Amino acid sequence: MERKILYRFFEGKASLEEEKEVCDWTEASEENMQEYIKERKYFDLLLVQNKRNSTPHSSSGKVFQLNSLIKYAAVVALFIICGLQAYRITKTETDQEMNTITVPTGQRVNLLLSDGTNVWLNSGTKMRYPASFTKGKSKRKVTLDGEGYFEVAQDAKRPFVVQTGKYDIEVLGTKFNVNAYNKTSFFSAALMEGSIQISDKTEPSNKIVLRPLQKADYIDGQLNVVQIQNYDIYRWKEGLLCFENIAFNDLMKEFEKTYDIQIINKNKKLESYICSGKFRISDGLDFILHVLQRDVRFSFTRNENNTIIYIK
């Protein structure tokens, strides 16, 4: 694999074809995966060095520390593929060794848990999970703050439980998406295969069961179960940004999460505009906004630091 392709991949600048090429290459052999990890570590060290040279006073969460990279390299359960950027992992000692993974805004992370469960985590998500699922435990539990897509390894004797701020989701082996950021009141669980049971944390006896292609949304204080009409909105893990019948301001919030930028809408006429579309995340925010301008009139500018977009 050419190093220049890998580095574009690490920077999030690779094309979809290059992302697929890297994914296929890393999955082809253990040697390729080890080579990938070595290059990833070297890239991160260069990133740290460059930031130390250019930033005299680094703030928490913005610059990776060397010990974080060492911890990152030590977590063998982490399976790093498909357009992922660097992230932070911390460990705490309890009755069972636990890992906490925090995904920076604008990034995605894929990891393989010790039981074989495959997890995709979206931008700004935090998940706490055991380094290994102890056989003596009756359940496999993880805690999620954010959005995740789970492909749970089958284990009839040990249900897999995703704990969120409002609800617990229990499964045996299935594929489903959960959107449950603690900083918002929004909760949504969508089932692709198998079945899942959702229980209220304040009233555990209050449970519902989803069937394939159903989703449960938290609306007006309760869960509403409906059929999934558009699967595309769950393709964020593939590097796609899909939205359907979403209010303009709500879409801007999604863009803020995806592209790690603040968006201020000063155009009141756009508040009633309902949007639908499908883009590659790699297309970039400017391109997407230019496409939206074909349907509705507005302009946008950036501040000098390129941290805020103003919609007019």
Task: Give the pLDDT of residue 64.
Answer: 36
Task: Give the pLDDT of residue 124.
Answer: 86
Residues whose CB falls within 8 Å of the CB of residue 289, separated by 6 or more in sequence, listed in order: 300, 309
Task: Give the pLDDT of residue 301.
Answer: 87
Task: Give the pLDDT of residue 95.
Answer: 52
Beta strands in the chain (DSSP E): 88-92, 98-102, 109-112, 118-121, 126-130, 140-151, 160-163, 167-171, 175-180, 188-193, 196-200, 207-210, 214-219, 222-227, 240-247, 262-265, 274-280, 300-302, 308-311
Task: Give the pLDDT of residue 66.
Answer: 35
Residues whose CB falls within 8 Å of the CB of residue 103, separated by 6 or more in sequence, listed in order: 87, 109, 121, 122, 123, 124, 125, 126, 146
Task: Give the pLDDT of residue 50.
Answer: 54
pLDDT of residue 56 exceeding 60, the answer is no
pLDDT of residue 148 exceeding 90, the answer is yes
Q: Which of 86-95, 169-178, 204-213, 238-247 has the lowest mean pLDDT?
A: 86-95
* % the chain with pLDDT above 70: 78
Say how far apart CA 60 and CA 119 lie, in whole Å: 26
Q: What is the mean pLDDT of the chain?
A: 78
Class of residue 33 by CB neighbours under 10 A (exposed 0-12, middle 13-18, buried 19+) = middle
CATH 3.10.20.30 fits 239-311, yes or no: no
List pLDDT tens digits, range 230-285. Answer: 888 888 888 888 888 888 888 898 888 888 888 998 888 888 888 888 888 888 88
Q: What is the mean pLDDT of residues 170-179?
A: 89
Q: What is the mean pLDDT of residues 5-25?
A: 73
pLDDT of residue 28 exceeding 80, the answer is no
**Taking a C-beta distance cutoff of 8 angstroms, is the pair 231, 270 a contact?**
no
Task: Give the pLDDT of residue 45.
Answer: 59
Task: Write down the domain spans for the chain.
Answer: 239-311
Task: Give the pLDDT of residue 168.
Answer: 93
More confident residue, 105 or 143: 143
Task: Give the pLDDT of residue 118.
Answer: 92
